[in-house]
């Protein structure tokens, strides 16, 4: 093996090489360099209330004193204040809840603690950490799907620190509360780890599971204090309050030490404009200019990883798909071997699904320096311990700032300098971020969004609550007040609940069947026809678009072709194939306004939030050649119309205002459509959602508004809170959307600005320049101060 690490240059050399490569390009791909200085930690003394036994056990594990943020959060919790600690990766959030929780267990020999985590791996991790302290009488134990029956009985009777997840709480502990009575009676603390992961419909369900937990604990006489740990986000206290239904105090100032990081933002350069020859009507060939495209983020990442290995920098590249990780690893290996035969061996791919031994071998090889480069999916984000990395390359924005920092946080050997690079993909949000570093390094606007008032969540959750214990009038306040009262009335009418003097009772024998991750309709199973192997599932809502007969379906980076979508049995039969085309579903969407909740009257512009009914039918699909995008053919589909009642945000602009800004009426549709696409693409900037969670509709004249209108709606029945968030910060959201379009260097629209991979109209018509004008008109009108009008006085259908 070649030895290139004898003179390890590290991150500084890698950055130098990247800069040199950037300088060769026409426009530098480095759009920003942020220097995050090293920080020395600020310790606080052990809080006076800390149990001496707990303190000694922690000291024996090498913890000499807590950091200031840990002590502050722990003391609030000890005093009975519900608290959320929202600080960076590796800032030691565990100690903040271990201190009060374990001190409480030591002080009160009957007290108990409930710890909730989103993954089993994290719970197992925390179990080890608590068990290692060797404190008498704590008897920490996990309680999850893997816990054997005999063991469950032991956990119920003896453990005072139970680690579980919301699903187990929902399916097992709360319905079986009578058997957990002793545990609930002395419940002192509820710890909710990684609470930012409870978002959207799932988060809304979890919010009610926690309300059920509070009610059950109260019935047994306990009033636990909640301690939440969160990644940094826009409004941690607000999100934690929505999740628990309690007032929560936030601690956000991180006092832990960290090494310095140089963070570069990288936009792959445009490729030289190319053209292809295609036959015209007379069977002659004509040259057609292709739209400008950028070098792919995968290619760029592979080149950087090559530079990293050559400069002796231990580097991890995060790639979003398994296939992408394999591609980056193999491209890197090839170019290294061309330079120095054998050098390619020092790069590997890593993804979820590897055997434990293989994972350990890779971790060891990276630690010893035998491996210098690794391309990985974010399987690494949870549960794997990798240290000693100099640099992290992030190929494509991972969707949330929490994930971004989690990935970047992997770089940096004990106190050393590290490098992180975000490589933008061809996508409006990625493009916006590399040109707006303040959105990454400044104050976060991205908030964890959920909506406990969603009737599709509230109704089923009230049934669960009633089956655990009758719902009293006082309980209704806990579950959402008027919305809960209305939902209970509806459930009584349906016969699911019955009113008796002591409350509302569940009328059925069995327990209600409620899936916390339910998104309306059974998920569709993706099954390999030849082997019967279940590859995975796709949620009901996306199945028509993603799994229609003939669709090319990517599953964990492998390409499959759908032979048949059987809606009755919720199964898609597929076979593995890698055709040289992609498929794009075409659909027809209709939307009607049911009710306006709130609106802003801004003269020629109106901004609305309300309930809408959406009907959607996937009618055909196009096959397009990979690379050129040439349409091979359009094939019809025979799928039923689907209906969705949900929440939307929409804006209207008067035709006069559009015309006054110079847009011809014939261009209204393209202008509005382009603004809609970019708006959907930028929504994840302000709310933790995926663009696939959101739908949109734009029209030059909508029957319900009688105006040119752009609708953006939640893709889940009853809404998940995304539209509501968009309405609340509309000016910020639309301003970012405008910037994303205006700053894109393309001529007439591209995937980085106004084209959408999920457009049901084949991205037609789209008018990039006019979209900027539309947004300028809307933003100018919204900037003029006007009061918000409550829904009661809203005009019918918001016209
Ligand atoms: Zn563009
Ligand atoms: Zn579209």
Give 335-366 pLDDT, tens digit per residue. Answer: 999 999 999 999 988 866 666 677 778 878 88
pLDDT for position 24: 74
**pLDDT cut 70: percent of the chain above it:** 91
Residues with CB under 5 A from ligand 1 (ion): 744, 746, 750, 752-753
Burial 324-348 (b: 16+ CB within 10 A, else e): bbbbbbebbbebbeeeeeebbebbb
Q: Mean pLDDT check: name the lowest of 169-178, 416-425, 445-454, 707-716.
A: 445-454
Cβ(37)–Cβ(44) below 8 Å: no
Task: Give the residue-averaged pLDDT of 685-695.
Answer: 82
Q: Six-digit token pair at 353?
A: 């699904």
DSSP three-state, residue 759? coil
Task: Report which listed range, 72-81, 391-400, 753-762, is most confident.
Answer: 72-81
pLDDT higher than 50, residue 662: yes
- The residue ranking higher by pLDDT, 530 or 411, is 530
CA–centroid distance, 323 to ligand 1, in Å, is 26
Ligand nearest to the backbone CA of 681:
2
Backbone angles phi, psi at 535, to 5 degrees: -85, -30
Instruction: Look over the chain and give the mean of its residue pLDDT values, rounded to a whole number.
Output: 88
pLDDT higher than 90, residue 520: no
Radius of gyration of the chain (CA): 28
pLDDT higher than 90, residue 494: yes
Only one residue has tokens 């609106």, namely: 599
Rounded distance, CA 210 to CA 190, Å? 10
Closest C-alpha to 760, from 652, 654, 622, 641: 622
pLDDT higher than 90, residue 497: yes
pLDDT bin (cut points 50, 70, 90) of residue 382 is: very low
pLDDT for position 491: 96
Ligand nearest to the backbone CA of 675:
2
pLDDT for position 794: 44
CA–centroid distance, 752 to ligand 1, in Å, is 5
CA–centroid distance, 273 to ligand 1, in Å, is 14
CA–centroid distance, 740 to ligand 1, in Å, is 8
pLDDT tens digits, 22-31 = 777 777 899 9
Within a 10 A sphere around the Cβ of 784, how many other Cβ atoms?
A: 9
Ligand nearest to the backbone CA of 427:
1
Cβ(433)–Cβ(427) below 8 Å: no
pLDDT bin (cut points 50, 70, 90) of residue 799 is: very low
Rounded distance, CA 770 to CA 34, Å? 34
- The residue ranking higher by pLDDT, 530 or 518, is 530
Ligand nearest to the backbone CA of 763:
2
CA–centroid distance, 432 to ligand 1, in Å, is 11
Stated as kind and residue range, the H or E segment containing 537 is: strand 534-538
pLDDT for position 795: 45
Task: Give the residue-averaged pLDDT of 54-70.
Answer: 95
Q: Six-digit token pair at 293?
A: 């495209």
pLDDT higher than 50, residue 526: yes
CA–centroid distance, 667 to ligand 2, in Å, is 15
Q: Which residues pair with 634 in a beta bridge?
A: 622
Task: Give the residue-averaged pLDDT of 140-154.
Answer: 93
Rounded distance, CA 496 to CA 487, Å? 11
Ligand nearest to the backbone CA of 756:
2
pLDDT higher than 60, residue 282: no
pLDDT higher than 70, residue 432: yes
Only one residue has tokens 């990454």, namely: 440
CA–centroid distance, 764 to ligand 2, in Å, is 7
Ligand nearest to the backbone CA of 766:
2
pLDDT bin (cut points 50, 70, 90) of residue 790 is: low
CA 559 vs CA 63, 331, 528: distances in Å: 49, 19, 12
pLDDT for position 746: 83
Closest C-alpha to 77, from 201, 189, 158: 189
Within a 10 A sphere around the Cβ of 94, how many other Cβ atoms?
A: 18
pLDDT higher than 60, residue 490: yes
Cβ(659)–Cβ(643) below 8 Å: no
Q: Mean pLDDT check: name the lowest of 111-115, 228-232, 287-291.
A: 287-291
Rounded distance, CA 152 to CA 142, Å? 9
Cβ(638)–Cβ(695) below 8 Å: no
CA 532 vs CA 171, 216, 526, 548, 720: distances in Å: 29, 43, 10, 19, 34
Residues with CB under 5 A from ligand 2 (ion): 759, 761
pLDDT tens digits, 284-343 = 666 655 666 788 899 999 999 999 999 889 999 999 877 788 889 999 999 999 999 999
CA–centroid distance, 750 to ligand 1, in Å, is 4
CA–centroid distance, 756 to ligand 2, in Å, is 7
Residue 37, class by beta-carbon neighbours within 10 Å (0-12 exposed, 13-18 middle, 19+ buried)? exposed
Task: Give the residue-averaged pLDDT of 13-33.
Answer: 85
Question: What contacts 669, CB < 8 A, 6 or more positions away?
Answer: 698, 699, 700, 765
CA–centroid distance, 20 to ligand 1, in Å, is 26
pLDDT higher than 60, residue 797: no
pLDDT for position 527: 92
Q: Write down how long the chain is.
A: 799
DSSP designation for 173: I
pLDDT for position 460: 94
């Amino acid at each position: 093996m070649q030895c290139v690490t004898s003179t390890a240059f590290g991150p500084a050399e890698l950055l130098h090489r990247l800069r040199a490569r950037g300088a060769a390009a026409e426009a530098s791909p480095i759009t920003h360099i942020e220097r995050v200085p090293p920080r020395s930690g600020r310790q606080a003394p052990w809080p006076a209330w800390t149990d001496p036994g707990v303190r000694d056990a922690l000291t024996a594990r090498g913890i000499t004193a807590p950091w200031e943020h840990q002590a502050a959060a722990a003391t609030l919790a000890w005093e009975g204040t519900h608290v959320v600690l929202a600080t960076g990766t590796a800032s030691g959030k565990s100690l903040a809840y271990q201190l009060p929780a374990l001190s409480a267990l030591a002080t009160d020999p009957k007290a108990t603690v409930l710890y909730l985590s989103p993954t089993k791996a994290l719970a197992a991790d925390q179990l080890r950490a608590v068990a290692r302290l060797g404190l008498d009488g704590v008897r920490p134990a996990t309680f999850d799907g893997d816990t054997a029956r005999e063991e469950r009985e032991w956990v119920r009777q003896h453990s005072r620190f139970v680690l579980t997840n919301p699903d187990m709480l929902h399916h097992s502990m709360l319905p079986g509360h009578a058997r957990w009575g002793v545990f609930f009676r002395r419940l002192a603390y509820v710890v909710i780890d990684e609470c930012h992961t409870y978002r959207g419909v799932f988060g809304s369900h979890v919010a009610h599971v926690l309300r059920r937990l509070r009610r059950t604990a109260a019935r047994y006489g306990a009033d636990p204090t909640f301690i939440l740990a969160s990644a940094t986000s826009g409004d941690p206290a607000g999100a934690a309050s929505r999740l628990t239904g309690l007032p929560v105090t936030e601690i956000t100032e991180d006092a832990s030490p960290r090494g310095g990081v140089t963070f570069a933002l990288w936009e792959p350069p445009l490729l030289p404009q190319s053209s292809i020859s295609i036959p015209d009507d007379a069977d002659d060939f004509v040259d057609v200019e292709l739209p400008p495209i950028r070098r792919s983020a995968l290619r760029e990442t592979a080149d950087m990883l090559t530079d990293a290995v050559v400069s002796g920098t231990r580097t991890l590249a995060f790639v979003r798909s398994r296939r992408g990780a394999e591609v980056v690893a193999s491209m890197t290996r090839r170019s290294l071997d061309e330079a120095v035969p054998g050098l390619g061996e020092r790069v590997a791919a890593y993804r979820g699904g590897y055997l434990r031994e293989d994972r350990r071998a890779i971790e060891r090889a990276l630690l010893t320096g035998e491996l210098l480069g690794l391309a990985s999916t974010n399987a690494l984000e949870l549960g794997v311990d990798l240290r000693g990395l100099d640099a992290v390359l992030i190929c494509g924005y991972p969707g949330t700032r929490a994930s971004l920092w989690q990935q970047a946080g992997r770089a940096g050997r004990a106190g050393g300098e590290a490098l992180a690079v975000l490589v933008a993909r061809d996508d409006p949000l990625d493009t916006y971020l590399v040109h707006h570093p303040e959105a990454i390094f400044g104050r976060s606007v991205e908030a964890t969004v959920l909506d406990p008032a969603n009737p599709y969540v509230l109704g089923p959750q009230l049934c669960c609550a009633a089956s655990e214990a009758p719902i009293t009038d006082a309980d209704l306040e806990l579950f959402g007040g008027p919305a809960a009262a209305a939902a209970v009335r509806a459930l009584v009418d349906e016969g699911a609940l019955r009113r008796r003097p002591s409350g509302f009772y569940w009328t059925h024998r069995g327990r209600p069947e409620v899936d916390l991750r339910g998104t309306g309709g059974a998920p569709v199973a993706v099954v390999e026809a030849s082997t019967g192997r279940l590859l995975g599932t796709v949620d009901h809502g996306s199945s028509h678009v993603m799994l229609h007969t003939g669709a090319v379906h990517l599953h964990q980076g492998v390409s499959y072709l759908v032979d048949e979508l059987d809606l009755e049995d919720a199964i898609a039969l597929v076979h593995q194939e890698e055709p040289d085309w992609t498929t794009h579903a075409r659909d027809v969407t209709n939307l009607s306004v049911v009710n306006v909740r709130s609106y802003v009257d801004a003269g020629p512009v109106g901004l609305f939030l309300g309930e809408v009914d959406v009907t959607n039918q996937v009618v055909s699909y196009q096959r397009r050649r990979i690379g050129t995008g040439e349409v091979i053919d359009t094939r019809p589909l025979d799928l039923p119309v689907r209906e969705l009642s949900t929440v939307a945000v929409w804006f209207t602009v008067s035709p006069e205002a559009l015309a006054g800004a110079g847009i011809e009426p014939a261009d209204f549709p393209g202008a509005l459509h382009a603004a809609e696409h970019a708006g959907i693409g930028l929504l994840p900037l302000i709310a933790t959602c995926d663009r696939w969670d959101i739908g949109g509709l734009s029209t030059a004249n909508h029957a319900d508004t009688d105006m040119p209108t752009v609708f953006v709606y939640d893709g889940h029945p009853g809404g998940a809170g995304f539209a509501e968030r968009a309405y609340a910060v509309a000016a910020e959201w639309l301003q970012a959307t405008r910037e994303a379009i205006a700053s894109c260097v393309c001529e007439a629209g591209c995937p980085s600005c106004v084209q959408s991979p999920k457009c049901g109209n084949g991205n037609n018509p789209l008018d990039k320049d006019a979209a900027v004008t539309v947004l300028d008109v809307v933003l100018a009108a919204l900037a003029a101060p006007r009061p918000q009008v409550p829904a009661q006085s809203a005009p019918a259908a918001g016209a």
